[in-house]
Homo-oligomer: A and B are copies of this chain.
Amino acid sequence: MRGAVEARLRQLEGLLRGRGLPLTMQRREILKAVVERNDHPTADQVFDAVKDRLPRLSRTTVYRVLDRLVTLGVIRRLHHPGAGTRFDGKIDRHHHLFCRSCGCVIDVASSAVEDVSLPPASRHGFHVEDFSVHFVGVCPDCRRKASS
């Protein structure tokens, strides 16, 4: 999976160069931190993960860089029940399982979900570009605890 991270860094570099923006250490390390984990970290968790490598890093920068990465389309903002904003290193279409018991979020590959479409007449003139499905239920861990 190391190669995947390298690929994302190159993607970031390309997007930044295309706009004449600098590729800083902070952007590199923050992107790595988000992509390397498959949970969905908050800005604060990203800060914690990166601060060892960049001791002078400020929380402000984490917010600003995450925002920039979202704008560039390198990562996604995730709207997590309960807690604050979270970030998701995956950018291919995928869906989420939200556990209503412990609040965790599990990714589901898009291919595991049958295609979703809206009848054109129901769109109210809304131009739909993408979608994601939020499944709500109980995760394996919580089911195990509940049955014991």
Contacts and interface: CB of A to CB of B under 8 A. Distances in A.
A52 interface: no
Contact of A124 (B100, B126, B131, B140): B140
Number of chain copies forming the complex: 2
Given A108-B118, A126-B139, A128-B135, 15 more contacts: A77-B82, A97-B124, A108-B122, A114-B116, A116-B133, A125-B139, A125-B140, A126-B137, A127-B143, A128-B137, A129-B137, A130-B136, A131-B135, A132-B136, A133-B134
5 contacts: A116-B133, A125-B143, A131-B133, A131-B134, A131-B135
Contacts of A135: 118, 126, 128, 130-131
Contacts of A114: 114, 116-117
**A: contact size bracket:** 35 or more
Contact of A112 (B80, B100, B122): B122
Contact of A136 (B80, B100, B117, B131): B131
A109 B136 contact: no
A138 B116 contact: no
Interface string A33-69: 0000000000000000000000000000000000000
